Structure 1
C-alpha cells in the first residue's frame, strides 16, 4: 500500500507528461468537490433513456452499423471496383488471403513479430484485398481471427487489442479482427477508396442546402482533410446549412469577433483582469505542439481568443484546460492556407494577414460552441468533471470489474488520472493528429464532447488492461496512467477506440440499471 505522502506527490503530477515534473492538478483551481456530498450528482447525471433494450435493439443496431460501416467504405461508389476484382478472384483465394492477414496481425499484436519476420509463403498478395470477403463468409473470417489471437505462454505484448464483441457490425469486426498494414493494400485501390469518400463529401457539401444529418453520418468515420474545415464549421453550428447564407454569416461573425477585440482586449492590463491574462500568458507556452504555438503570431492569436472568451463568460472565466481546446480548431482551419503535410511545424508567418484574421475568428466561435456544451466542466469547483469522473468509475466497474478492483486495491483513484482526461478531452493523452480524428466523430455524435466522450474514456482505460493488471505498485500504476504510450498512434488506433466506445454506448445507453448503481 502506498503512503499518504506518495499519493499526494503523484496527485500533483497529473498535469505533467514527464515524470518528476511537480505541478498542481491540471485545471483544478479549487479543492476537490464531491457531488455526492453536495447532493448534485443525482440531479446532474445525464438522463439515461429508460426504453427497454428489446424495444430499440433492432433500430439501434442498424443505426450503429450505418455509423461505423467505414472500415473499407464499400459503398455504392465501390460496386464497380468490387465487381472488377471479383471477376479475377474466387472465394477460396479471397478467404485464404484474409486468413493470412488476420494471422499476421495477431502475431504482430500478441507475439512481437515484426512484419518483416514473415516467411515468403506468408506474404499476402498485394492484388487481393480483405474487403472482397463476402458477408456470407464473414463468420469464417471471424472464427479464424479468434482462433489466432492467443500467444505462447510467457510472451509479452506492447499493445493489447480491444475485446471483440459479437454485436459489432461487419466493419468493426474487420477493424477489431485485423486491419492490414498500409503496405499490404494496393495503393491504387487505397487512393480510389479515399477519392470516392472525398467525392461523397463534396457532393453533399455542393448542394444548395447541406443535409446536416447525412453529413454527421458520413463524418462519424472521419473527415478527409480537404473538406474538414468546412465540415467542422457546419457540424459545430457556426455556419448555416444554406450555401447562399454562408458568406454573409462569416463576414458578420468575423466582424463581431474583432469588435470584441477592440472593446475588451485593452482591459487585459486592468487590475480586475490582469490575473486572468497573466495565467493565459503563462499557460500558452505549455501547449502542444510547441513548434506551432510558440510562433509569435500564433501566441498572440491564442491569447486574444482565450482572453475574450474569459471576459465574455464570467461564470467560469479562464480555467487551465480551456487553452488546449483552441489548438485543434486552429490547426484544422489553418490547413486551408498551408500546403505542408506536417502542420505542427508549419510556418504561419507565410499565411496572409487577412487569412489569419479569418482563422482566428472562426477558431474563437467554434471553440465557443464546443464550450457551451461542457461549460460546467470549468465553473467553480468544476462539478461537470467531478460528475463525469464518477460516472466513468461506475462504467468501468461494469465493463471490466477486474481492472476496477485492481485500481481500487492499490488505492489509485480515478480522479488522479481521469480528471485530465475530462479537462483536456484526452488531448494530453494522444497526439494532435489523433485528437483531430477523434473530434471528427465527436462533432457528428449527439453531445459528443459531453456524453460520448465518457464511453471513449472507458474504452481508452480498458485498452490498457494488460499493462494495468501487470503493475503491482501505486506509484508505477499512476505513472503509467499519466504517461500512456500513444506517441505512435494513428487513425487506425483511434478508429478501433471509437468502435469499442460505440459498442459500449450501444450496450449501456439502453440499460440504465447497468449504467449506474
Structure 2
C-alpha cells in the first residue's frame, strides 16, 4: 500500500440487508449473511492501488449486519469547490477531468465500475482522488440502501434499470452489470456543474453552451461525455487519448504497477538515486509516521486503542438506543417478529468520519527516528536486531503481550518490512529475526520467505488449469463449507471460490499425488494470510507439503503414515515413558488420534489464531519438529490421560481440551533439543535436495536441517523394515550422532566430527549390553557394561550392582544401548522404558558400526 503522506484515515458505515433466519440454501446449510458476502468481496478492493484512487484499508463487521469501512480520506472535495463558487479556470477543470479519467480507466481495466461518481466522491489533495462507497454491495443487492445515492449524477441507463431486490433470497438472479460508460456520463454532469456554478453561468441570459465554448473551452469534453448512444459513447481510455487533452497529457507520467515481491521483473529496475545524495537528508524534521504505509498506520492505530464504532458514535453516526425500546410486540417460535418500529439509524448516512491519529502519535512520540530506518549490515552479531532497550525488555514478555504492544510492533514491522523487501538477499536475517517473533501484519510474506518461495509464482499459478472439472471436485465442494467456517473471510462465498481454485491448482499441478480430506485445512492458514494473493497461497502450500508432509498425499499412503506414527510412538516413549506405558497398556495408540494431527499439521484440531503462533515456530524447524509438538500436546493432557482408560481417552480427544499454544511451543523446542537428530529418521522422508539453494539460504543447523537431507556415510542410519521398526519401543540413533553427543574426535571421518549446536547438547550415557569379555576387548570411551542376560531380574527390575547404580544416577539423561544383536538391544531398551527411564535409544548397527571408527578403547590392566 502507498505511504500515508498527507492523507487521513476515514470511516463510514452502512447496514447489509438481513436474511430470514428460517431459510436454508440448496445445500441445506444456513444462508450466508450479506455482511459476510460483502466482507469477502471487499478484500479485492484493498489490492486496487493507483494515485487517482483512495486506498481501501479495512472493513469491520459489527452487530446486526453493520459494516464499517476504513479508507484513505481527504477533507477537501469537488463539492467544496462548488460551495465556494469561486471561478475555476478551464485548465484546472481539464486537469481535474483528466485525473478522474485516469482513475476510471484503472478501475475499468480491473473490471470495476464506480457507479457513484459525485462531487463529494472526488477528493482533492492537490490532485484528484476518486472515492467510492458503492463497490461493496454487488450492484445494491446486499445492502439496505439503494444504489442511487446521487440520482442527479446517474446515467440514464442506470436509472432506467431501477433497483432489483430479490423476493426469494435462495434464488438469486444476477442482474445485468453496469457498464464502464455510465461513469463517463456522471463525470460530464460534474464538469458541467463546475463550469456553471463556479463561473456563475447560471445567471447568463445567452445560450450556456455557446458561452462555455467561447469563454471556457470545456464544451468539447462535456459534449463527448453526454452522448446518448452507448455504442458511440467513449470509454475512459478513449477519452484520455482524445485531442481535448493533447496539451496536458504530456504532463502526466503513465502509472506503472510496482513489481511484486515474487515476480519475474527486476524490482530495483526503477530505483535511481539523485545526483546529490544530500537531498535525501533534507527532511530531518519530517513526520516519520507519514512515510509508513496506510495499512501499517491503521494497524498501529488499532493497537493504540483505536475503536471504529466509538469514533462513529462520538460523531453521532451510530446512535445507541435502550434495548427495551427495540423489543418487538409479538415473537413467533421460528424467530419472526412483529410490531417492531423501523429504526432510522439503519438508514444510510454517507458521512465519512476522520479517524484521529493523535493517540497513536502520543504513543510513538518517544520512538527515535532511527527506528524507522534500521540498518541491515551483514556484520551484525548473532543477537537479533533491536531498536532500543525497551524493545529488548519487551521481547522477553509473552507473545500475546508483544503482539499488542504498539511501540514493539512498530519496530518489528519496520524491520521485517525492510528485510522482506531485500528478500532473498537478506533471507538469513529473516530467519534470525523470525526466531524472536513474527509481526502478524507481515506474517504471510514472512512465511513465504521462510519456505523459500521465489520466482514468478503468479505466472505459474495462472498457467495452471483451475477450471476443467476433475474427479476430486465433489469432495472439495463437500469439504470447503466445513473448513474453519467460524472465520468471516473463509466462510464468505469469495473465500470458498478462492479455496476451490487453490486446492484445484495444487491437485492439477501434482499429478503423482491425490486430494485427501484435510488438505483443505492445510490450505486455510495460507489462504487466510494471502487472501488477495492466491498465487502466493498456492506457492506456500506447494513448498510446505514436500518439507513437512512428503508423500503423505500419495494414493496409497499407508506405509508413509504407519512409519510416521511408529516414529511418533517412539518419541512418546523417548520423552515420557510413563505416559507411553499407560497408553500402550490401555491400547490407545497414535493411529486413533494422531492421524488428523499430522495429516493436517494440526490445522484440523486448532483454530487459526493458535495455528499462526504454532507455525511461526514450526516453519523454523525441520520435518521432525511436528513429533515434538505432538509430544508437547500429550504432556499438557498428561494428568487426565494417566487417570483415564481407553473409552475416556477416546472421548477426551473427540473434543480436544484447551491447549496453551505458547507453552506447547516452548516445550516442543525443549523436547527437540533433547532429541538426537537421527532418532526421528524416516526412510520415506524427503531425501537430499539436489537443486542448488535447497537450504533456502539458512545455515545448516540442528534446528532447521533434516537428517534425511544430509549426505550419507557409512556411519549413518540404515533403513529397516516397518515391522522391525514397530517392534522397537525406543528409537535408534546413528553412530554419527553418538560420536557427536559423546564429543569424540575422529580424523578419518570428518562428517562425524563433534559439532557444537546452538541447542545445549545433553549429557549421554552409553550402556554396553555385551558380555564382559567382549566389553573388555573394546568398548566406547565412557560406556558402562550391563550384560543383557544378567541386568534384569525375573520381575523385570534392575539387578543391584555398582554399574546399575550408575545407570540410575543418569536417569533423565540420554541413554544409548549398544550391543551385538539389534533384537537384544531393543528388548533391553524396552525394559528400561517399562521401568520409567526417559530418553532411551539404541545404536543403529550396534558395536560393529563403531569398530570402523577406531574409537573403541580397552580398560587399563589392573596391577
**TM bucket by the smaller chain?**
0.5 to 0.7
| Larger helix proportion of the pair | 1
- 1:265 alignment partner in structure 2: 467
SS at match of 2:649: helix
**Rg: which structure is higher?**
2
1:441 equivalent to 2:617? Answer: yes
1:228 equivalent to 2:443? Answer: yes
Q: Give the alignment of 1:13-412 within 5 angstroms.
A: 76-79=386-389, 131=393, 190-207=405-422, 210-239=425-454, 249=455, 252-261=456-465, 265-266=467-468, 268=469, 273-274=470-471, 276-290=472-486, 291-334=488-531, 356=532, 359-373=533-547, 374-379=549-554, 380-412=556-588
Q: What is the CA-CA distance between 1:383 and the residue it aligns to?
A: 3.0
SS at match of 1:377: coil
Measured against aligned partners, the alpha-carbon deviations of 1:126-182 in whole angstroms (never above 9, x if no partner) come to xxxxx59xxxxxxxxxxxxxxxxxxxxxxxxxxxxxxxxxxxxxx9xx88xxx6995
387, 401, 413: which one aligns with 2:589: 413
SS at match of 1:376: coil
Q: Is the 8 A contact 1:455 1:502 kept in 2?
A: yes
Measured against aligned partners, the alpha-carbon deviations of 1:424-468 in whole angstroms (never above 9, x if no partner) come to 1111222211111222222222x3xx3211111111111211121
CA pair 208-462 structure 1, distance change in 2 beyond 3 A: closer
| Larger strand proportion of the pair | 2
- 2:305 alignment partner in structure 1: none
Q: What is the CA-CA distance between 1:191 and the residue it aligns to?
A: 3.0
SS at match of 2:675: helix
- 1:139 alignment partner in structure 2: none
For 1:205 and 1:515, the matched residues in 2 are separated by: 43
- 2:295 alignment partner in structure 1: none
- 1:478 alignment partner in structure 2: 650
- 1:451 alignment partner in structure 2: 624
Q: What is the CA-CA distance between 1:423 and the residue it aligns to?
A: 0.8
CA pair 406-281 structure 1, distance change in 2 beyond 3 A: same
SS at match of 1:77: coil
SS at match of 2:551: helix
For 2:399 and 2:620, the matched residues in 1 are separated by: 27
Q: Is the 8 A contact 2:597 2:605 kept in 1?
A: yes
For 2:452 and 2:409, the matched residues in 1 are separated by: 26
650, 668, 671: which one aligns with 1:501: 668
Q: What is the CA-CA distance between 1:405 and the residue it aligns to?
A: 1.5
Q: Is the 8 A contact 1:217 1:444 kept in 2?
A: no
Q: What is the CA-CA distance between 1:206 and the residue it aligns to?
A: 4.4
CA pair 80-435 structure 1, distance change in 2 beyond 3 A: closer
Q: CA RMSD in A?
A: 3.0
Q: What is the CA-CA distance between 1:76 and the residue it aligns to?
A: 4.3
Q: Is the 8 A contact 2:490 2:528 kept in 1?
A: no
Q: Could you tell me the TM-score, scaled by structure 1's length?
A: 0.53
CA pair 325-81 structure 1, distance change in 2 beyond 3 A: closer
CA pair 306-516 structure 1, distance change in 2 beyond 3 A: farther
SS at match of 2:606: coil
For 2:489 and 2:473, the matched residues in 1 are separated by: 21
SS at match of 1:233: helix
For 2:432 and 2:625, the matched residues in 1 are separated by: 15
Q: What is the CA-CA distance between 1:233 and the residue it aligns to?
A: 1.9
Q: Is the 8 A contact 1:284 1:299 kept in 2?
A: yes
| Higher RCO (C-alpha 8 Å, min separation 6) | 1
For 1:298 and 1:191, the matched residues in 2 are separated by: 30
Structure 1's unaligned 5+ residue stretches are: 1-65, 83-130, 133-170, 240-248, 335-355
Measured against aligned partners, the alpha-carbon deviations of 1:186-223 in whole angstroms (never above 9, x if no partner) come to x8xx4333333333323433447542122112113431
Q: What is the CA-CA distance between 1:365 and the residue it aligns to?
A: 1.5
CA pair 515-314 structure 1, distance change in 2 beyond 3 A: farther
Q: What is the CA-CA distance between 1:257 and the residue it aligns to?
A: 1.4
Q: Is the 8 A contact 1:310 1:317 kept in 2?
A: yes
Aligned residue-pair number: 301
Measured against aligned partners, the alpha-carbon deviations of 1:390-421 in whole angstroms (never above 9, x if no partner) come to 11111111211111112122211111001111
For 2:410 and 2:663, the matched residues in 1 are separated by: 22
SS at match of 1:375: coil
Q: What is the CA-CA distance between 1:79 and the residue it aligns to?
A: 2.4
For 2:511 and 2:633, the matched residues in 1 are separated by: 33
Q: What is the CA-CA distance between 1:321 and the residue it aligns to?
A: 1.5
Q: Is the 8 A contact 1:220 1:441 kept in 2?
A: yes
Structure 2's unaligned 5+ residue stretches are: 1-380, 680-732, 734-815, 817-838, 843-863
SS at match of 2:624: helix
CA pair 495-181 structure 1, distance change in 2 beyond 3 A: closer
For 2:400 and 2:462, the matched residues in 1 are separated by: 47
